[in-house]
Structure 1
């Protein structure tokens, strides 16, 4: 039966244990690739943020999910020593925020664990952080 199937399809089916092991290995590799891509997207967000505030070391932001996927909103930017450089409630609007937030949202879409929850805002939504030097 298997020889007849091989002649019809051009390949021989792997035994189930080998096939399952191969699929599991491929799945793990795909997860690692997605996490690496999320790190690259987060690094792009950091590059864009440093174009506005060269000393920025940590971004705090909101992530929300809708039918189009995640979207991010910047809340604050801090230096490595913890000095606040910018905050949504007290400073001028972040110039072209989407250059940062689009990358943060894309990173979150590729890897659910890309960022750490650090707090909640007044609406009860989670606040996340991204350390630029990680």
Structure 2
């Protein structure tokens, strides 16, 4: 990564932070469901999303070919997944969130996380030297 590409550094740092945060937050939120096999994918998807971001950040740091494109794709993938999760969260206002936090807290947190992800995506796109 070029030292003058500050936007890329920020996007990579953000991806690393979110890659660690997502699985931790998902595990805490669904701690009451960890042992329920039927709820496995309700919390394990956060591990997949975190891994996607961490792998992309690692590849950019190792200066692998097309790593910036991978980082942009990773941000797009996790942003899309969280967008659907954010919209789905509003259904829990009828039934209550299945996790340990209130529905309003989780919806607000997901909205803020989604905004963070969109900033990471934007910075990744802006840092791409191949963009027109």
TM-score (norm 2): 0.32
Pair member with larger Rg: 1
Higher-RCO chain (CA-CA 8 Å, sequence separation at least 6): 2
Quick check: which one's helix share is greater?
2
Quick check: which one's strand share is greater?
1
TM-score (norm 1): 0.32
